[in-house]
Every structure is written in structure tokens, then in C-alpha cells.
Amino acid sequence: MKQRTLSIIKPDGVRKNLIGEVIKRFEQNGLTPIAMKMLHLTKAEAEGFYAVHKGKPFFESLTTFMSSGPIVVMILEGENAIDLNRTLMGATNPSEADEGTIRRQYADNIEQNIVHGSDAPETAATEIAYFFNALEVCPRP
Ligand code: ADP
Ligand code: MG
């Protein structure tokens, strides 16, 4: 089933000059970017995006990290895009991520793990709407 998911290259991924590398993996594995922008989130905007994690011990540090520099936000479209993206990303903790995944190869630790990807259709829809309006989405024919 053709799906859409939200992907973020986090501040560590941008700082490590991995924008091209990450997008190349998506394009070569059937995930097509149909919307894209670079942003520098405020702390409040990062807190809004990660509201589901409010109250967790890592929330303060996570939102400080996510507002520490520019990010690249994308909508990816493809067959089973949500699960496929998470497979390419690897587990949250890079030390537990499969060989060859983005996080295993590039992430420093469980917090600074290079990429975000939506985890379900409902969260994908909410996260896409957090960053993009209809005019900014450019589906391929
Ligand atoms: P994922 O990004 O794999 O969906 P979660 O939704 O559980 O993972 O967590 C969101 C983000 O919060 C993670 O990508 C990571 O940046 C951070 N995070 C998750 N768990 C921890 C933790 N135990 N300590 C520090 N940061 C964490
Ligand atoms: Mg998550």
C-alpha cells in the first residue's frame, strides 16, 4: 500500500553533512521525497513536535537537542513507507540497530540518532500536518 511518512534529518545529521547520504538511501530504496524544507526549530516548536514524549526523563534534553541547529524535514512516499523508513533508520539506540542502517552507521547515541521517522499512519498524518500545508506537497505522477 502506498503510504506517506514524515522524515527528519536531525541537527546531528545536518552537522555531520549527511543530508545527501540520507536522502540517497531513501531514493535508492523506494522512498520518494514529495515535500522538503530546512528549518531551525525553536525549543517550543520542538516541544510541540515531541509532545507525545512530554514527562519522560529525556524530554528536556531531546527538545534542546532538536532545537540546537537546522533540520531537514521531508514527506516520503512509497510502498509501506512508514515501516520501510523505520527499517532503513534502524533501532532508536544505535548500538541495537541492525548493521547497515542509518543509525547504526552514523548515530552517536540513543538521543542524537540522526533521523526521525513516523511510527504509524496516525502519527504520520499528525506529523506531516505539523510541518507542511497542502501547497507544499508535490506528489509524483
Ligand atoms: P524513535 O525515534 O526511534 O521513534 P522514540 O519515539 O522512542 O524513538 O523517541 C524519540 C526520540 O527521543 C528518539 O529518536 C531519541 O532521539 C530520543 N530518545 C528516545 N529514548 C531516549 C532515551 N532513553 N534517552 C535519550 N533520548 C531518547
Ligand atoms: Mg518515535
| Closest approach atom of ligand 1 to CA 65 | 16
pLDDT of 100 over the 90 cut: yes
Q: Share the mean pLDDT of the chain.
A: 98
Q: Is 116 a catalytic residue?
A: yes
Identify the bridge partners of residue 38 per DSSP, sorted by sequence position. Answer: 72
- The mean pLDDT value for 102-129 works out to 98
Which of 134, 119, 126, 120 has the alpha carbon at shortest distance from 51? 126
**pTM of the entire predicted model:** 0.98
Which residue, judged by its Cα, is nearest atom 1 of ligand 1?
92
Q: Which ligand is nearest to the CA of 60?
A: 1
Residue 131 pLDDT: 98
DSSP letters for 15-62: HTT-HHHHHHHHHHTT-EEEEEEEE---HHHHHHHTGGGTTSTTHHHH
pLDDT of 141 over the 90 cut: no
| Closest approach atom of ligand 1 to CA 113 | 16
Q: Is 64 in the pocket of ligand 1 (CB under 6 A)?
A: no
**Cα(107)–Cα(65) distance, integer angstroms:** 14
CB atoms within 10 A of CB 123: 15
Choice among 46, 73, 116, 131 that is catalytic: 116
Q: What is the pLDDT of residues 19-72, one digit of tens each?
A: 999 999 999 999 999 999 999 999 999 999 999 999 999 999 999 999 999 999
